[in-house]
Chain A
Amino acid sequence: MSTRSLLVASLITVLTACGGGGGGGSANPPPTSITPPPAAQPPTQSELQAAAKFLSLATFGPTLEEIESVAESGTNDWLDTQFAMAPSRHLPIVVRYIDEYGFDFQTMPIPSFYRRFAFYEQALTANDQLRQLVAYALSQIFVVSDNVGALNNDPSALASYYDMLMEQGFGNYRDLLLAVTLHPAMGLYLSHVNNGKSDPLANTFPDENYAREVMQLFSIGLFELNPDGSVVQDSSGNPIPTYDNADIREFSKIFTGLSYGPREPGGPSFFGNGNPVLHVPMVMFDDFHEPGSKSLLNGLVVPDGQDGMADIEAAIENLFNHPNVGPFIGKQLIQRLVTSNPSPAYVTRVTQAFNGDQSGVRGDMTAVIRAILTDPEVDSAIRLREPFRRYLAINRSLQARGEDGTVPGLGFVAAFLTQQHVFSSPSVFNFYLPSFSPAGPVQDAGLVAPEFQITNASTVIGITNLIAYTLFNETSIDSPEELADITLNLDDFLPLVGDGQALVDQINLVFFAGDMDEETESILVTYADDTFAASSDDVLTLRATLYLALATPAYAVSGEM
């Protein structure tokens, strides 16, 4: 048994010792009565559940208060407010930690932790939840990873990358793709930083890495798509590739000549700089940019003699205008935010939003996001909740905080147990492929379920145990001992212990958006009532009931067919 399993075992044993001794039940105070709702038109249960559903898709995990608020104000108001909010940035939190603890890898907390602290603090406490979440979704499409040492060690790298995704995530896709291309974290990750022009004498050629992945993963994909996301077939029924290796070699010439920008504004920079500057956009050094014309997609030829940045702008524009982008990026965003298997009509609606069919503006990300989150199919959305988002949801819905309001989370335990953590993908292909379908009932039904690609015997137990640690530990998020322990706020649930049905109803609303099936509900109610009767420790009863509820298939899968 692992250390962690033993930990939970010991906690459960404590629970039994409390409950198993007998005679504890009569010592319990009567359940605290619940404050009656205000007299003026309280939201109905179905309005509350619809709000909970929406917020489970659009935030890292709603609190009861937020659910009640959206049930009254409606989702469109909430979206308007969210789109208007300025981003709560991560880099300033990194700077705050540098000011407080310095930049010394010999003392705790070490600097590479700071961007993790920034992520947890903003994901769990910031009000601009939609922007934080959209950036998180984009981080699984425009993937960079801390498994590259330099990106892990310099906290400004991934903090500024997240800030860039937040900024551009509510902007235009064209600017997003350009900002991704020029961000030094991406330059380092896909090796187009310090990528020089061909050298015929040395028999060297431009690096093809970014040229390939910007097309395969960040913009158009491998095959021509219809607006509904389906693959176009030729007369023989075969898919039509969007590019070939000759195209890759042409695009590889485009992405030459970039190196790190100046560390301080106005400071020096030069091509070939091996000392990464990871928080300001890369800059072009035309002497190292491949000369000559380049043949891009759909017949576009960029002329000889143009400077390097103009080449890059032209290539981004070339990709941006490819008809694949709407369905390719739109469908993946639907999968990240709402449902694994959007209907062709749903994808088409999002493609139309991307294409600007109504507004005339192509690539407007807020239009895409609004189309995704307000689509009628949201009601019937089904997907396996990402393990990392289950972890975040528990911590956000239960308002995890340190005493000083910070949340210096590390996430190492979560990553170890679930094989998932923000910016810790094993490769540029993310944690799972959009097309993954697990053998068994999902595949038999002709459906895909990307998140099942990281669901296996090891991680399915890992996330179950992670839920237990989060609920039972003195600190709900692993953080360095030197910093504040983080605790959960159980106030929305604790008064209901003693009334199993009311408690499970509340869990069903806040965590399940009302999607708990009746059989699961009845088993949990019995457990909550029995444990209450046997135990004098209401907090332990609550934690154990929550643990069981959140370990179920009914919670793991958002929605139900």
Chain B
Amino acid sequence: MNINRRKFLHQIGHVGVALGAGTQLGMVSAAANAQTNADYCAMVCVLLAGGADSFNMLIPYDQARYDQYATTRTDLALPRNEILPLGFAGTDGQEFAVHPGMPQVQALFDSNDLAFVANVGPLAEPTTRTAIDAGTANLPLGLFSHSDQIAVWQTTAAGSRITTGFAGRIADMLEAQINTGPISMNISLSGNALFQTGTQVSGYTMDAEDGARTVGGYDNDSFRSTLDALLDVNHQDPFRQAYRTSLRGAIDSGVELTTALEAATPLNTTFSATPFSQSLRQIARVISARDQIGASRQTFFVTVGGWDHHDEVLNNQANMLPGISQGLSEFHAALVELGMLDNVTTFTISDFGRTLTSNGRGSDHGWGGHQIIMGGRLNGGQIFGQYPDTTIDSELDLGRGRFLPTTSTDEVYADLALWFGISPNDLPTILPNIGRFTDPASGTPPLGLFLT
């Protein structure tokens, strides 16, 4: 990007001046924007696309379980003296550590602002290895396939192919009630997300670098009035109509959000230059402008791709996990600065866990894996769910160390939905399969992720 950025600046010498003026616009006094957080909740979903090898992100640490892990993982095992132990003592002497590149995650866990959900994955219903071996189990469609499992993690309807996601269905229910402005309560930093797609709501998209984009020339009167007229043309063709709606909405939301962001107090927290950190910076800015935007509930979506490590899993994770850890820690700092730590919950999802056994250089597609969850209202410093016995051919091993999940995505999302303010009666609308795992009417969060 650098070369081409330079070239643009070269081509239009005066833009540097204009950009300078743009940053000045942020210098609005804090007093002018008294913010409220009395009733604001946001969830931030981080998709580690490709199927992160999370068995090397959260690792058994007590000697007996570490030894078992190392025996199964062979050349993929991380040395015990390099992984970072967590301040956690489980039943039966269970201890855990995180990847050596994640010291910030270790610190956030130990300060109770972060937790893990162990061996979680999409399930069509509770099942057993025996039932699976016998071919009688009701299983998620397209098990072990990227495109299917990445979709099911977002739709959380493991037995079927549906076109709405968890946050999309929430927005279908809430958008009209809680959002007073034109900008969707569902905002993605990584393009269209099934997670945020509903039947009515399709979400708004920002760019990690540009933030809210606006159409060049739109501040020119004759150009704007002509473009507006062109976008007023009513097309019978559904493709043209869909495109018209998309461009019209993008222009209107972009203008609105740009104005809101310019009026919000600038953030002092600095973020790294990585796309992940810059995406989180944009999210923090939007949260800082929540009053101007006028939505009391928001969801955000960020994808970090490149986790399909059939090859070079150790080197690749050593390069990539530090960026996740660093980004989460920067976002945490920004939320502290904004006084919004209790109002925002951030969590990871990923296509699937991977085989514990090696293919000689990497690992292959699995099922259950471990996910991070971060926030101020969290029952932090915990490992939720059950970390599986990593012995080959153990009761959850479906071959090569592909683990049958012991916690379903529905259960994680049920806790999140209840925290977000969804009533127990509405849970089955948001989570069609939830009744297969818990009694939604009880109102009891199945995992207890949050402090009550």
Contacts and interface: CB of A to CB of B under 8 A. Distances in A.
B215 to A, nearest CB: 5
Contacts of B207: 2, 458, 462
Contact of A7 (B8, B250, B399): B8
B136 interface: no
A459 B205 contact: yes
A33 interface: no
Contacts of B226: 523-524, 527, 548
Among A248, A443, A454, the one with the most B-chain Cβ atoms within 10 Å of its Cβ is A443
A293 interface: no
A553 B247 CA distance: 9
A55 B239 CA distance: 21
Contacts of B72: 203
Nearest to A531: B222
Nearest to B244: A553
B216 A207 contact: no
B77 to A, nearest CB: 11
Contact of A1 (B22, B233, B236, B308): B22
Contacts of A474: 11
A433 interface: yes
Nearest to B364: A208
B50 A427 contact: yes
A34 interface: no
A465 interface: yes
A64 interface: no
Contact of A5 (B11, B163, B214, B308): B214
Contacts of A552: 230-231, 233
Given A1-B258, A460-B246, A553 B253 contact: no
A384 B243 contact: yes
Nearest to A485: B11
B216 A8 contact: yes
Interface in A503-561: 517, 519-520, 523-524, 527, 530-531, 544, 547-548, 551-554, 556-557, 559-561
Interface string A405-447: 0000010110010010000001111000100011111111101
B238 A445 contact: yes
A428 B8 CA distance: 31
Interface string B234-249: 0111111111111101
A338 B247 CA distance: 24
Interface in B354-371: 355, 357-362, 364-365
Could you say which interface size class chain A belongs to? 35 or more
B216 A465 contact: yes
A547 B223 CA distance: 10
B8 A523 contact: no
A3 B213 contact: no
Contacts of A413: 4, 8
A32 interface: no
B206 interface: yes
Interface residues of B, number: 101
B238 to A, nearest CB: 4
Interface string B133-149: 00000000011111110
Given A199-B360, A527-B226, A552-B230, A208 B191 contact: no
Contacts of B202: 438-440
Contacts of A369: none
Interface in B152-190: 163-164, 188
Contacts of B308: 209, 427
Contact of B362 (A5, A207, A441): A207
Given A196-B360, A520-B230, A553-B241, A480 B3 contact: yes
Contacts of A245: 143-144, 399
Among B236, B240, B305, the one with the most A-chain Cβ atoms within 10 Å of its Cβ is B240
B359 A560 contact: no
Nearest to B398: A245
Interface string B12-40: 10110011001000000000000000000
A216 interface: yes
A27 interface: no
Contacts of A382: 237, 239
A284 interface: no
Contact of B192 (A204, A456, A480, A547): A456
B1 A416 contact: yes
A12 B310 contact: no
A204 B359 contact: yes
Interface in B189-217: 191-192, 197-207, 209-217
Interface in A440-497: 440-445, 447, 449, 452-462, 464-465, 468, 473-474, 478, 480-481
A79 B15 CA distance: 48
Nearest to B252: A457
Interface string A195-231: 1100100111111110010001000001000000000
A446 B227 CA distance: 30
A19 B437 CA distance: 67
B8 A3 contact: yes
A556 B235 CA distance: 13
Nearest to B204: A457
B405 interface: no
A85 interface: no
A537 to B, nearest CB: 14
B260 to A, nearest CB: 14
Contacts of B15: 3, 6-7, 10
Contacts of A208: 310, 359, 364-365
B337 interface: no
B220 interface: yes
A441 B239 CA distance: 7
A442 B230 contact: no
A13 interface: yes
Given A1-B22, A9-B219, A553-B240, A456 B205 contact: yes
A280 interface: no
A2 B206 CA distance: 12
Closest 10 CB pairs of A and B: A8-B216, A12-B217, A457-B250, A441-B238, A456-B205, A2-B210, A191-B311, A209-B310, A207-B359, A191-B310
Interface of B: 1, 3-5, 7-12, 14-15, 18-19, 22, 49-50, 72, 74-75, 142-148, 163-164, 188, 191-192, 197-207, 209-223, 226-227, 229-231, 233, 235-247, 249-251, 253-254, 258, 303, 305-306, 308, 310-311, 355, 357-362, 364-365, 392, 399-400
5 contacts: A191-B310, A194-B361, A206-B359, A428-B146, A439-B202
Interface of A: 1-13, 15-16, 19, 108, 147, 190-191, 194-196, 199, 202-209, 212, 216, 222, 245, 248, 340, 382-384, 410, 412-413, 416, 419, 426-429, 433, 437-445, 447, 449, 452-462, 464-465, 468, 473-474, 478, 480-481, 517, 519-520, 523-524, 527, 530-531, 544, 547-548, 551-554, 556-557, 559-561
